[in-house]
Each structure stands twice: as structure tokens, then as C-alpha cells.
Amino acid sequence: MHKYERFIIYPLLIVALFYGFAGEQMGTTAQEVMDKLVVREISVVNSRNNEVINIGNRGMFGGGSFEIYNATNNAIVTLSSTIEGSGAIEVYGKEGNMLIAQSVNEEGGGSIGIFNRHNNIVIGLGQTVSDELGIGGGHGLINVYDKYGEDFRSYKHGIY
């Protein structure tokens, strides 16, 4: 071996050994596309390791959910399943109090509840439900509550 060959050969051998032990993880820029990804939960955290997004099975009664959190770790938007197997959307204030809830009532119609800062319902939108004989139901309904969520006035179409 000549005097200066070792300055070329030895570094090349070290680099070759390094790449050999590193495997496929070194220097690859190709993306892998998977047909299906199966996990129980996915959490996205910020630089302070606080959860900001969660996708998982935290829904009511074991169903799926998608939750977005604010900087103070309070949920501000939740999409989840209900006990009936339908969907629900909830929007929260910065302190964590529910402000808007959209869900499905027992007869399969949609409903929207608007809440004040004290977690009391103040407006309810939805449909009328059938009586015990199955008569009526399905008409539009607006309930306007007092600030305590107790006394209300209704406007509904039809007599049921």
C-alpha cells in the first residue's frame, strides 16, 4: 500500500460499514404508502408535549372520536358517537364549558342545543317527538329557555 492510499481506503471502509449497519434508515427520501393503518389512538402534541388533537375511541360509550384542544388543554371541539350509534358535535369555550351541541334525538331527527357560560341550555332546535301512540312528531321545534335553563317558551309546527 502506498503512503497516501490509507487516507482514501480507510475512510471509505468506515463509511461503508456505517451505511451497512444503519440499514435502510439512512439517506432515503422515498415515501411509503400504506393501504391501511390500524391503531387504537393517535395523539398530536405541541412543543410543550401537550395534546392538541386526539383521534381515538374516547367517544361516548366506546365509539370513535376526534377532539381538538386549546393551549390550556381544554377540549374545544369534539366529534364523537352517541349511545344510539349516531354522531354528535360539541363546541366548547376556552374554559371547557359546552356552548353548542349537535346530536340526534330518540326518533332519529337532528337537534342543536346552545348553552350559556354557566352550562345552561338557552336555545334548543330540533323536531317534535311522537306521543305514546306514535301520533305526530317530525315537525320543527324551537325552545327558548331562561338563563337558568329551566323555564322556556316553545314554537312548534302542528299540534304535536
pTM for the complete prediction? 0.68
Residue 62 has pLDDT above 70, yes or no: no
Query: Does residue 4 form part of some domain?
Result: no
| pLDDT, tens only, 114-123 | 999 999 999 9
- 45 lies in some domain: yes
Note whether residue 109 is domain-resident.
yes
Angle at 153 between CA 160 and CA 93, to 5 degrees: 115
Sign of the Cα torsion 83, 84, 85, 90 reads: negative
Report the largest interatomic distance among the alpha carbons of the chain, rounded to a whole angstrom.
105
Q: How many domains does the chain have?
A: 1
Tens digits of residue pLDDT in 17-30: 777 776 655 555 66
CATH number for the domain including 51?
3.90.930
* Residue 2 resides in a domain: no
